[in-house]
Structure formats: C-alpha cells, structure tokens
Structure 1
C-alpha cells in the first residue's frame, strides 16, 4: 500500500487504516478473539495506522491493540481519542485536569510512555472556542505525554475553527459519497495548512458496502438500531446521517457505476482516496476478509471523471437535502 504524509507529524501512514470502534462497542457483540483476529489481519495486510478511543468498549479497544502488538514486531501509528468519558459531556469538562486523566489512562491501556496522537473526541462546538483546551494539549506534548494532537469533529465548521490553532496537526472527519461537504469547505484549507485528514465512517455504517437491505435486522446493542434518530449520540455517526431507506435507494444507483471486479465498498473507498487532501481512511470491520478487501481498494486506479460526476448527481438527488447543511 502507498503511504501519505500525516500532516506535519513527520509520519507517513498507509492510505487505508483500521478503525476499531466496531471492536469495542456499539456494533453488536464482537468477542475478543474475533477482535484480535481483525487487528492481526489488518497488520498482516500492511496497515500501519490504527485508530481507537478510550470509550470504545470502556477501554477494550485500546487494550486489545496493546495485546496484539505485544505479540508482533510491527510498530504502527496508533491514534486515540479523549473527552467522551465526560458525564455530562459538556464543554466545561474539557479542562486540563480531566484531559490529563484521560491521557494517563490511555497510556496505561496501550502500555506506552507517549501516545502517538490524541484527538479531542467530537467535543461540543464551544470547545473549539476555548484556547485553554489547546494550550493544555500543547503542554501535554511538551511534557512528553503525547507526540501529537488533533481533533475528531462532527461538523465542517468545527474543523475549520480547529485548524486555526497551530498545534492541531490532524482532523478526523466523516467523508464519503453520502457526506461530500468537506471537499467543498474544508479540504482546501486543510491542504493549505498541511493538516492531516483522517476519514472516518467511510462506508456510512455499512450502507456503502451494498450488503444491507430493508430487511436487514441489527442487534439491539448496534447503533444502527438504537441511534437512527440520534438518541445516543450525533445521528451523523449512523448511516452518515441519511435516512436508512433513502440511503438504500442511493446505493442502488451507485451500484450501476461500480467498475467490473470491484466491490461496492472498494468503490466508495477509492472515491475517497481520489481526493488528494485525504491522508488515510479508517473503515472498521471485525472480518479479516472485509479488511483485506478494503486494503485492496488502495491499489485500484482512480475513478473516471464521469463516475465522479455521477456520484455527485446521485448525492444531489438522494442525499444532499438530508445532510449537506447539517454537517
């Protein structure tokens, strides 16, 4: 797999990484043996960027990464997140003491002296207007507790505000054929500041795999069941914010332009990677087969201009009204 520079961090990472939300929580039951197999499969496939968070399974995902890496020689770049442990999850909670505690716990679970990258975990919008939060992150870096810091955002406007702080080296954001606004409003600014762009929810919670249907049933503890209206967290994290049935209609149209020999998931990932501002894409999966399929997307040729134009047309017809101005 080719690698791309991760902003100003000095690291280069594979174009496809592994997101480990699914291995921690909110995607139905995934036993720990299967979760470890998934991480092994990612590393076996050449992935050298792993993304996690302290709340994924109450630290389970971080711990599993530590356990797998202890069995191997690789030293991948591991990005984690902090902030969502706050209860209530308020802007006031994003203070030096709380963040220091979260970072301490993640260092212990990952068994490292310094975390490669800490990202604020989709904090309330007001946090981006509090310089003291970013001053604290800079202090943690200077103390050797973290190597780099960035943000994971819900909205484009939050991303634009975050990169006004010179220490923010990465932004994690939702971007896929069903969430196209970042390329209009954010990518140019990120490139101008040499900010690494980490794309999450690239397959729209499975919609863009082409394997879901109106008859698909999700487990009770799967966010695709319990968060369709944003009952638990931002609805944009579930099916990228598009109503499930409307998303299925859009996928039906997209499937007609997928090149022969490619899966729907590979097509979506290739579409994302065709945007040069993107550093890495982090699809999550507990299936080694799916992980290998995702990695193979990086070797595919760029999509034609006609296919990109058709993706825009399908977005405009089926998706734009539901998501474009909201995120």
Structure 2
C-alpha cells in the first residue's frame, strides 16, 4: 500500500481508505462477523484510514467499529461526521451544541477519546462557513478531534472556512461517473493543500466485475432512490459500464481497481474511500494503488467514459436538497 498526507501537514494515511457505510446494511444485510472480517482484511492490506458517520445505520456502523477496535490491537485513523438529521423531514444542523453532542455520542460508540477527522456532513446555509470553522477549531483545541473537514460543499464554502481555521479534508462524491468536483473543487483543494476524499468512488457497485443489478436490489436498498439506476437510464449506463469492464480486463485489471487507479491519477491529494461488506470485494480493488496509468490507458478510459457520460442524477431531488451546488 502506498501512503499520502492527510491535508498539507497531516499524518501519513493509506492512499486508499475504507468507507464503512455498508456495515449498516444500506446495500443489503451486513453481519458483524463479515464487517469484522472486512476491517481485518483492510488493515492487513495496509489501509489505516476508516471513514464512518453518526447516521450510518443510525449509529450502528460506529458501534461495529468500536467493538472491532475493542477486540483488536489495530488502531486505524478514524473519520466520522455529523450534521445530517434523519427525518422525516431530513434536515441539516450545524449548531455548535448539536455538533458537540453528536461528536460525544460518536466517540462513545467508537470507544475512543478523539477522532483523527471530524466532518460537517453537510453545510447548513443559515450558519456562516466562518462560524462552522470556529466550532471545529474549538473542538480541535479541546483534543476531541485532530482535524476537521467539510462534505458535499461548494468551493466558496471551503475558502471561507479555510480562512478561519485550515480545512484538512473535503469529502465529495467523485468517480468516473460523478465528475462535478472537477468544476473547481479539485483544483481549489490542490491549491490549499486540502485532501479531497472521494466517496462512492466505485459508483455504489457499478465498477465491480459483477456490475450492480437494480433488478436484484432489496426493497430498502438506497440505490432504488438513485435516478441513474432507474429503468429509463440504467440500460445506457449498463452498456457503458460493460465496455469499461471489457477494457479493464483486456489490460489485466479488475474494473474496480482500474476505476480507483483513474481517481488516484487525478492528483496526489485525492483519497478514495471505497466501501465493501466482504474481503472478497476488497480484494478486487486493493491493488489499485500499485497501478500507474500510461497515456494509452488514460486515452482509452476517456474514450469509453467521457465526462458527462452517465444518464440520470446521482441523487434523488430529496437527497440532493442539502448538497451545495456550484454549477
């Protein structure tokens, strides 16, 4: 595993992190045993950065990680988030007292006295970015967090917060089928020395060798709400993904590994955090950090999956309401 800096002056973290959302069952049943095996496999492969949030499984994902930490000597760096209040209706809360209380609850579930990184999961528009940064600065000064980040925000919000207290990481969806961060966010993060943490870097299963199939999604699968999987859009997307898979395999790569390698190739400040429920799926992409793309491969990927190729939005209207838009 290769390593990179978390932020300009932060610690060395694995160039690929582990997203822990799926431990909460959002993509299907995830047993605690399987979650433990997945975290063991990630640690054994050199991944030392785990990403979670207070709302993942309504605290269940943090609890699972806490139990794993209590039963292992392993000490990965943990990032968690707060700010989204599950509804109905779904709202965003950046009030200092709320963020502090949610952080305290997260620390209790995780069984730790601090986390490496604490995000505002969304930015509440009524709270100035400067005030949010001040809240995070106070939590950092108290030692409850070692750094802070922002999630699903516009470049302007990052700049405003950064002027008050340096932002370590910005987390946004970024992958071969979600390219919006390229409209200014990736460039800003590179200039300011901020790590861009790319969540859903494998498109919620679409870049796996066994491409996600909407017909097999469980009734409560989150992806049923995603327009890209809708009947009018999915056949187009599936044909493009099949072409990418064929290309990846022809080059000797797993499709998931090539998709992550492409992300890593976009800049040394990009940190993808793919999620999985099984060590088997982790094995499909763990080698991405060792892939060095050449110009022919960059061109091949660009021809198959040009910017804007995906049909359908990445979120439903309801879920996108709290995401800051800048294009």
TM-score of the pair, normalised by structure 2: 0.86
Residue 226 of structure 2 aligns with which residue? 228
For 1:217 and 1:116, the matched residues in 2 are separated by 37
- Distance of aligned partners of 1:294 and 1:156 in 2 relative to their CA distance in 1, 3 Å threshold: farther
SS of the equivalent of 2:4 reads strand
Change in 2 beyond 3 A, CA 1:127/1:22:
farther
> Residue 314 of structure 1: CA displacement?
3.4
After superposition, where does 1:202-281 map in structure 2 within 5 Å?
A: 202-212=201-211, 216-225=215-224, 227-229=225-227, 243-258=233-248, 259-281=250-272
Separation in structure 1 between the aligned mates of residue 133 and residue 126 of structure 2, nearest angstrom? 9
Which whole-Å CA distance do the structure 2 matches of 1:127 and 1:170 have between them?
A: 22
Of the structure 1 ranges 242-251 and 257-266, higher mean CA displacement relative to structure 2 is found in 242-251
Aligned to 2:81: 81
Per the TM alignment, residue 274 of structure 1 is displaced from its structure 2 partner at its CA by 1.0
Distance 2:70 2:134 in 1: 33
How many residues get paired?
A: 313
Query: Is 1:319 aligned to residue 309 of structure 2?
Result: yes
Offset at residue 61 of structure 1 (A) = 1.0
For structure 2, the residue ranges without an aligned partner over 5 or more in a row are 315-324
Deviations 1:118-161 (A, max 9, x none): 0111344x267442222111111112221111012166665566
Whether 1:112 and 2:123 are equivalent positions in the alignment is no
**Aligned mates of 1:191, 1:84 — CA distance in 2:** 27
Corresponding residue for 2:320?
none
Distance 2:310 2:214 in 1: 25
Identify the residue that residue 296 of structure 1 maps to in structure 2. 287
Q: Give the deviation of 1:25 after TM superposition.
A: 3.4
Taking the aligned partners of 1:17 and 1:309, their CA distance within structure 2 comes to 27
Judge conservation of contact 1:160–1:186 (CA < 8 Å) in 2.
no
* Farther-moved stretch of structure 1 (13-22 vs 25-34): 25-34
Deviations 1:25-67 (A, max 9, x none): 3112212221121111111221101000111111111111121
Partner SS state of residue 266, structure 2? coil
1:97 corresponds to? 97
**Residues 276-316 of structure 1 deviation map (CA, whole Å, 9 limit, x = unaligned):** 2434211111110111332111122x222232233333334
Say whether the 8 Å CA contact 2:179–2:307 is kept in structure 1. Answer: no
1:22 aligns with: 22
1:129 to 1:314, Cα distance in 2 relative to 1, 3 A: farther
Cα distance per residue 1:166-214 (max 9 Å; x no partner)? 3311111111111223234222211111101211101101111142266
Q: Distance in 2 between matches of 1:205 and 1:292?
A: 16
- Distance of 1:208 and 1:261 partners within structure 2: 15
- Relative to structure 1, the CA distance from residue 267 to residue 106 in structure 2 (aligned partners, 3 Å threshold; closer, same or farther) is same
- Quote how far apart the aligned CAs of 1:260 are: 3.0
Tell whether 2:41 aligns with 1:41.
yes
How far apart, in 2, do the equivalents of 1:263 and 1:50 lie?
Answer: 23
Partner of 1:135: 134
Cα 1:212/1:320, change in 2 over 3 Å: closer
Q: Distance in 1 between matches of 2:267 and 2:105?
A: 35
TM-score by length of 1: 0.86
Q: RMSD across aligned C-alpha pairs, in angstroms?
A: 2.7
Contact 1:151 1:171 in 2 (8 A): yes
Greater shift in the superposed pair: 193-202 or 250-259: 250-259
Residues 165 and 289 from structure 1, CA distance in 2 versus in 1: closer, same or farther, beyond 3 angstroms? Answer: farther
Alpha-carbon shift at residue 10 of structure 1 (Å):
2.1
8 Å contact 1:16–1:294 — kept in the other structure?
no
